């Protein structure tokens, strides 16, 4: 049984773009286990490897987990596989399922192989991980609901939903539109000006929000360590977060009662959470704002991203009794039952904002 844990969020991203690079170490029967959950973009792999060597005092990672194939989560893991020894790589490989999903496409000229190649090209950073793992004889496993990754249990997605509902939407997803400098400036002005008053007893995060199928494919992990529960969410949206809560309940885990630490999904974006979903996942808001927070929520957000995290989202976690910490250019660490790290002082937590984004 695990009896201590530390979860480090490394700073990832520049400008508007954020990413995730999370290093986890826990103590089991006087032995340390190390897991990396996402690695940011390609350039952040070096910092992640140095972090493991410096603060975990090892060149070995037991588990590397790529939550989903987006480059801001998969890119930096390649450097990890090339420069540290790795026990297991946990990642989804959508190109493996081309024969099963080709039926969902109307292009009669498409073959199983051509669809697989299309998916490999679309998710080049993730495919590079598979190639590196094969090169170094690293075992590859897929994180489907019920899988066990050390102390962590995968809560979502199920294999059926991933294969038959999510992958077909990957290939249909449009390319991201690149903002011009003028559009970016106008959007920043709009974001800065659009604030409304917020109060403790009123929250409106609608259930109508949606995110990409790639984000919804995020592997959501949960671990019980001692009396505490730890939830990692990647970029999961409301469909996957709800599925996670339902699956956890089916195996006897009451997440609202068990979660003491949670990763705020998708850098605190407002398209990934709703009031009803958060109630299912981490519990309902506290009756008043005077209650002392007893839980922690961390969010990865680029130092210069004005829209990460959204105040309306962080307020929702504060309402539910969480102290909210953010990276914003600095590494932050949550630890229980582990030695205090020299040079790592307490972090500043976000307040309950009286004004939030409209």
Cα–Cα dist 191/208, whole Å: 21
What is the mean pLDDT of the segment spanning 175-200?
Answer: 59
Tell me how many helices (H) and strands (E) the chain has.
14, 18
pTM of this prediction? Answer: 0.92
Instruction: Please state, for a pLDDT cut of 70, what percent of the chain lies above it.
Output: 92
Cα distance between residue 13 and residue 26, in whole Å: 26
Q: How far apart are CA 93 and CA 29, in angstroms?
A: 33
pLDDT tens digits, 264-298: 999 999 999 999 999 999 999 999 988 889 999 99
Span 130-186, pLDDT tens digits: 999 999 999 999 999 999 999 999 999 999 999 999 999 886 543 334 444 444 554
Could you tell me which of 304, 319, 308 has the C-alpha nearest to residue 351? 319
Judged by DSSP in three states, 353 sits in coil
Select from 55, 57, 61, 53 the least CA-distant residue to 35: 61
CA distances from 219 to 95, 232, 246 (A): 17, 8, 15
Could you give the dihedral angle defined by the CA atoms of residues 113, 117, 118 and 122, in that order, rounded to the nearest 10 degrees? 150
Per-residue confidence at 218, pLDDT binned at 50, 70, 90? very high
Separation between Cα atoms, residue 178 and residue 154, nearest integer Å: 34
Domains and their CATH numbers in the chain: 2-339 (3.60.15.10)
d(CA 175, CA 169): 13
- The model's pLDDT over 314-358, given as tens digits with 9 standing for 90+, comes to 999 999 999 999 998 899 999 999 988 888 878 999 999 999 998
Instruction: Indicate the length of the chain as a whole number.
Output: 358
Parallel/antiparallel/unpaired status of strands 60-65 and 31-39: parallel
b/e code 197-229 from CB counts within 10 Å (16+ = b): ebebeebebeeeeebbbbbbbbbbbbbbbeebb
């Amino acid at each position: 049984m695990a009896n201590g844990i530390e979860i480090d969020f490394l700073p990832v991203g520049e400008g508007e773009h954020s990413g995730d690079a999370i290093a986890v170490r826990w103590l089991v029967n006087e032995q340390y286990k190390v897991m990396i959950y996402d690695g940011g973009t390609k350039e952040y792999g070096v910092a992640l490897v140095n972090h493991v060597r410096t603060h975990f005092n090892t060149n070995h990672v037991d588990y590397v987990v790529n939550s989903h194939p987006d480059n801001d989560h998969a890119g930096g893991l390649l450097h990890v596989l090339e420069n540290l020894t790795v026990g297991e790589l946990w990642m989804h490989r959508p190109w493996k399922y081309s024969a099963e999903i080709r039926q969902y496409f109307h292009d009669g000229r498409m073959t199983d192989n051509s669809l697989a190649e299309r998916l490999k090209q679309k998710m080049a950073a993730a495919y590079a991980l598979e190639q590196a793992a094969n090169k170094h004889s690293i075992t590859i496993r897929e994180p489907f609901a019920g899988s066990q990754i050390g102390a962590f249990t995968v809560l979502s997605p199920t294999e059926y939903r991933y294969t038959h509902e999510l992958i077909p939407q990957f290939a249909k997803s449009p390319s991201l539109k690149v903002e011009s400098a003028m559009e970016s400036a106008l959007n920043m002005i709009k974001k800065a000006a659009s604030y409304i008053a917020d109060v403790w007893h009123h929250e409106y995060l609608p259930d109508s929000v949606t995110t990409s199928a790639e984000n919804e494919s995020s592997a959501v992990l949960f671990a019980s360590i001692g009396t505490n529960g730890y939830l990692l969410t990647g970029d999961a949206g409301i469909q996957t977060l709800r599925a996670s809560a339902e699956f956890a309940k089916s195996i006897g885990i009451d997440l609202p009662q068990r979660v003491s630490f949670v990763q705020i999904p998708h850098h605190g974006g407002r398209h990934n959470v709703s009031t009803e979903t958060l109630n299912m996942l981490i519990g309902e808001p506290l009756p008043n704002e005077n209650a002392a927070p007893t839980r922690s929520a961390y969010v990865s957000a680029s130092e210069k991203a004005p829209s990460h995290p959204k105040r309306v989202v962080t307020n929702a976690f504060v309402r539910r009794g969480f102290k909210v910490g953010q990276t914003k250019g600095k590494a932050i660490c949550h630890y229980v039952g582990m030695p205090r790290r020299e040079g790592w002082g307490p972090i500043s937590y976000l307040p309950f904002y009286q004004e939030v984004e409209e």
